[in-house]
Chain A
Amino acid sequence: MKAVLVLEDGFALEGQSFTGDFETGGEVIFTTGMTGYQEVLTDPSYTGQMVCMTYPLMGNYGITAEDMESAGIHAEAFLVKECCKEPSNWRSVMSLPDFLMKHGTPGVEGLDTRALTRHLRLNGAMRGIISTREKDREALREKALGLPTMKGRNLVPRVAATGPYAWHDNAPRPVSLGPDGSYAWRGTGLPLVVYDYGIKWNILRHLVAAGFEPLAVPPGFTAQAVRATGARAVFLSNGPGDPATLGEEIAIVRELCRDMPVTGICLGHQIIGHALGAHTEKLKFGHHGCNHPVKDLTTGKIEISSQNHGFHVVLDGVADVEATHVNLNDHTLEGLRHTKLPIMSLQYHPEAAAGPRDGNHLFHRFREMIGRATGN
């Protein structure tokens, strides 16, 4: 079935649907990872976005049970050059088209993804509509212009946790708190409250491996409630949308920063930035892929990193905050720390999935910082 993609500026491409009939819209972005489509699709940070893969073949190793980054698909649509319908992988439990159809996510192949990537690189990420129903490009463009822009869009409520849960046996397990807000920690690691703004499960896996016992909570969980759980530190997850819209979350974190060790990744890092007095700006076409070079300014070492963000923190001289990591492609901020308080965060994804694991050691850096601050 023929599908037409039209961007808000009128740029149009044709492809073939491999998931049946649909019409959907969102911000069109491109991701440069050669592998990792399952992780990309299930990463809640892609909420509201239609993902174009620059690598020309997707789906060849199918879908695996162990590599989910959340319970479902969050990308609005998946745009590829060629989709492999018959995966070859002993771990595969499902083909990519079946996976997309199961979750009702449109998949399109046969698009000139290179032309699309080039257009986005030159003109910036923008809104688009993809449809098998409407062929009139002008009509589709009108619809695209009617979509909300990513800037100013709060998408956290769509994917964030709605209640507290623990992480056991590689899956989230809902838990309840005591009437006084206390939590019965199991004693498997350092008690850590994890704000789930749309978390990637591999972050939880890594926090456990680094010696934490995570208790995930929803975004509106107050600072007072955190203290009531008996947690010793706080972690802020990744998530979708424009961080500047998250006024309530930022206020909670600002309060937590006064007397708790706080760390964060991606959106969590951006919220920490806001809480410490910095601001965020939208990147032209974002960083999405597994090949971004990042320099660790504290060691001088360079890591190849997994990234997925459309906004970045601009410090412009905020007191007592220093940059710890910088992106070598465009020199934007990739990590920060407070010089006096036990606060640090990373813009990129040290938990990888998909992508290189160069940054995995940073979970231990979190653990060490928190250990020093709390005496554990």
Chain B
Amino acid sequence: MTPGNPELAEILRIAKEYGFSDRQLAEMWKRPEADIRRLRKDFGILPTYYLVDTCAAEFEAYTPYFYSTYETGDEMQVSDRRKVLILGGGPNRIGQGIEFDYCCCHASFALRDAGIMAIMVNSNPETVSTDYDTSDRLYFEPLTFEDVMNIVEKEKPEGVIVQFGGQTPLNLAVPLMRAGVPILGTSPDAIDRAEDRERFQALIEKLGLLQPPNGTAMDLEQALEVAERITYPVVVRPSYVLGGRAMAVVYDAAELTDYFREQVPEKPEHPILIDKFLEHAIEVDVDALSDGNEVYVAGIMEHIEEAGIHSGDSACVLPSFSLSYDHVANIAAQAEALARELKVVGLMNIQFAIKGDDIYILEVNPRASRTAPFVSKATGVPLPYLATQVMLGKTLDELDPWSLRRGGFTCVKEAVMPFQRFPGVDIILGPEMHSTGEVMGMGADFAEAFLKSQIAAGQRPPRSGKVFLSVNDRDKPYVADVARLFADLGFDLLATRGTAKVLREGGLEVEEVRKVYEGRPNIVDLIINHEIALVINTASGKNTARDSKAIRRAALTWKVPYCTTLAAARATATALAAGRDVDHVETLQEYYARDARGQE
């Protein structure tokens, strides 16, 4: 690319017609992306917008869907109405849930109800937010700076909403702001304070809050030093990843060395983050709504699985079922302090871990999280809808979300796993997200809600039969308590040697069964013969995980209900103990109506 090259304009036009992005051209021509954009605009090489009519223009179509192309015509009429752009999350992938589709829909409804033209930008045909009647206009475009800027320059909206599409549009907040695009809601600077590791640390210190001890490393040597300082186990992960990709909990220097060998390139582009792993801590997810002054703590969700399981894979309960009043009050106060300090306008999500009496902040996301639809339905308060109104200038005083809240019931969110579809994959949960969906169980109490969520997620907990237990060494001190719950319910206990010994020491009657490599018949044979009603099998660390993989695989293949954490097993036993009728179902509206009557 030589400036002044007379063929440059033509080459650039052809490249754009062929679909090269400015960014690709910038890489090829070794220039900043902004230069390519400027050059393109100087040459007048701008995209035009054509209608997605599915009939090659043969018939007149009324669907307000557009795609960009470098062509001669233009089928888009710019409206002079007030308008706001909503950025969606792009294609569905693990860690970028369909939950954001819900948020984008409600943002659109709120805009339309306010008389503002709702313009959706999303490249995902699988969503409701990209239905032709959800928004006033849809741009079927990638969520990149180039494509979004093209639309902004064409439509000139009064603002852009970036907090409803997950991390993808959120990452565009700062570049868009720098390009002079008005971002509605929380300021890009506040978003950066929550996203940037150092600025985030300063924020936590300023507010006098607690973070797990942590550090960063560019190579193994540094990592070993950090881990030594903050003590094992630690969570390691590359920075700038979605959905906990390549995240792992490691328990010693050998595992850390393995991790670096397998996951980290020789010279990583970004530092590796290392945090102290809080073993057996309770993880709590909080969604809050703020107008910059007032804060509405919408939901404090208690995870059933302990900290260390990705929040997208963990089941959670609203309202919380084991937290003390003090903990709840303290968490709410911290959430409010964070929202005020960041001057959040719209939604925010915070992940806490409670260990003993200490409350640690794991993560702050200044955007709608994947729990926003769950909290909205579990409390009757339409969070994304209200958040959009807040972004348009309403105050929480005016909207009064407190008065909308419905209660008197418990909701459980459970993740749905795609393991059945992927033969050979291990079903163990960890810091890397696996789930591809979620379900919600609703009931009068935890037991009913939990059982319904399990059934909806594809496993019906048994009422009787044999429970098989095989747990890793770290879980052994706790396994007897859980087994006792099942024994008290009349289940027979089966265990492999090590676990059986622990159970007997705990005074429980248990039948011993062979591990896979100990001969036959072994536990996998029993699973295949349908002799096992429930499998409780935990693993952590690479080696134990490999040993027990065959067991979990068999359970999955032969559709035997399974728990891969003691927490889930405990929740199952607790729920079964209540003996609820879970075949009785009611609508969300019936639950809400009952609470409304209760308030009168």
Tell me if B598 counts as interface (CB < 8 A to partner A): no
Question: Does A365 reach chain B (CB closer than 8 Å)?
Answer: no
How does the 8 Å CB contact mask read for B36-61 relative to A, with 1 for contact and 0 for none?
Answer: 00000000000000100001111110
Taking a contact as CB atoms under 8 Å apart, the answer to whether A112 and B56 are in contact is no
Distance, CA A234 to CA B60, complexed state (A): 40
Q: Residue A55 at the B interface, CB < 8 A? A: yes
Question: How long is the Cα–Cα vector from A54 to B50 in the complex, in angstroms?
Answer: 14
**In the bound complex, CA of A351 to CA of B322 (Å):** 74
Interface centre among A54, A55, A118, A121 (most CB of B within 10 A): A118
Q: How many A-B residue pairs have CB under 8 A?
A: 32
Chain A neighbourhood of B6, CB < 8 A: none
Bound-complex Cα distance A117 to B57 (A): 6
A117 close to B59 (CB less than 8 A) = no
Q: How far is the CB of A3 from chain B (nearest CB, A)?
A: 14
Q: How far is the CA of A202 from the CA of B50 in the complex (A)?
A: 37
B519 at the interface (CB under 8 A from A): no
Bound complex: CA A32 to CA B57 (Å): 10
- The answer, yes or no, to whether B529 is at the interface (CB within 8 Å) is no
Complex Cα distance, B50 from A114, in Å, reads: 9
Asked if A112 contacts B72 (CB within 8 A), the reply is yes
A121 touches B72 (CB 8 A): no
Q: Is the interface of A mostly helix, strand, loop or mixed?
A: mixed
The answer, yes or no, to whether B507 is at the interface (CB within 8 Å) is no
- How many chain B residues have a CB neighbour from A under 8 Å? 11
Q: Does any Cβ of A come within 8 Å of B73's Cβ?
A: yes
* A55: B residues at CB distance < 8 A: 56
* Contact assessment for B71 and A54 in the assembled complex, using a CB-CB cutoff below 8 Å: no
Interface residue? B326 (CB, 8 A): no
- Assess whether B75 is interfacial by the CB under 8 Å rule: yes
Across-interface contacts of A289 in B (CB, < 8 A)? 58
> B65-83 interface mask toward A, CB cutoff 8 Å, 1 = contact, 0 = none?
0000001110100000000
**Interface residue A252 (Cβ < 8 Å from any Cβ of B):** no
Interface status of A115 (Cβ within 8 A of chain B): yes
A83 to chain B, nearest CB (A): 15
Cross-chain contact A121 with B58 (CB below 8 angstroms): yes
Contact (Cβ within 8 A) A32 B56: yes
- Complex contact A32–B73 (CB within 8 A): no
What 5 pairs between A and B have smallest CB-CB spacing?
Answer: A115-B73, A54-B56, A118-B57, A112-B72, A117-B57
Show the binding face of A for B, using Cβ within 8 Å: 13, 30, 32, 54-55, 112, 114-115, 117-118, 121, 289, 329
Question: 17 more A-B contacts (CB under 8 A) besides A30-B58, A115-B73, A121-B60?
Answer: A13-B72, A32-B55, A32-B56, A32-B58, A54-B56, A54-B58, A55-B56, A112-B71, A112-B72, A114-B57, A114-B73, A115-B72, A117-B58, A118-B73, A121-B58, A121-B59, A329-B59
28 contacts between A and B (CB under 8 A): A13-B72, A30-B58, A32-B55, A32-B58, A54-B56, A54-B57, A54-B58, A55-B56, A112-B71, A112-B72, A112-B73, A114-B50, A114-B56, A114-B71, A114-B73, A115-B71, A115-B72, A115-B73, A117-B56, A117-B57, A117-B58, A118-B57, A118-B73, A118-B75, A121-B58, A121-B59, A121-B60, A289-B58
